[in-house]
Amino acid sequence: MPAHREIDPDLLGRARRGELSRSSTRPGTAERRAVDRVKYVRRRAAHPEITARQALGHPKTGDVLPTISLMVDDPPRFIVIEALNRRDLRRAGRYDNLVNQLNEGRITSASFERRVGTWRPIAGYTFLADPDAVLAILEERRAADLEVFHYESGRAP
């Protein structure tokens, strides 16, 4: 597919006015290309100093990757990983949220173990699904005055 196809100015106008949208057009049609082009141009105009990809949240080349904490099995321990992609970052954040709910008693140990026990590994590590081990690690870290959750976005302050 060429980098830029000529798009009918009438279609672009309809897309700008909102007469055409992603939900009202089919992929691959001239109408959808007009909608996508308008969306791209708006994204570029909102942040002219960065690429459209970066405006969507993707890191620049050389940027520091986001880091997030989680507890892993084999042996059970607290680690901080560099998230390789947004999906892994979201999964680790979901795990940290479940750990927090377990710690506050908002979910049962059985529910925590059932949910986390089926998850696929992240960055080669298996999520710690044993609720007693999770709570023990949290208590141990609090007693040593260490952080129990860690997240850094990787973006400049």
Over the stretch 82-137, which tens digit does the pLDDT of each residue have?
Answer: 876 778 888 999 999 999 999 999 999 999 999 999 999 998 899 999 999 999 99
pLDDT at 63: 66
Q: Are residues 43 and 76 in the same domain?
A: no
pLDDT at 1: 43
Q: Are residues 87 and 118 in the same domain?
A: yes
Over the stretch 35-52, which tens digit does the pLDDT of each residue have?
Answer: 999 988 888 888 888 877
Q: How many domains does the chain have?
A: 2
Q: Are residues 148 and 73 in the same domain?
A: yes
Q: Are residues 27 and 85 in the same domain?
A: no
Q: Are residues 100 and 25 in the same domain?
A: no
Q: Assess if residue 145 is contained within a domain.
A: yes
* Distance from the Cα of residue 106 to its chain's centroid: 24
pLDDT at 59: 65
Q: Assess if residue 90 is contained within a domain.
A: yes
Q: Assess if residue 92 is contained within a domain.
A: yes
Q: What are the helix (H) ranges across 26-85?
A: 30-46, 52-55
pLDDT at 50: 81
pLDDT at 115: 95
pLDDT at 155: 61
Supply φ then ψ for residue 77, to 5 degrees.
Answer: -160, 165
Q: Is the pLDDT of residue 2 over 60?
A: no
Q: Which domain range does residue 41 map to? A: 9-55
* pTM score: 0.62
Q: Is the pLDDT of residue 157 over 60?
A: no
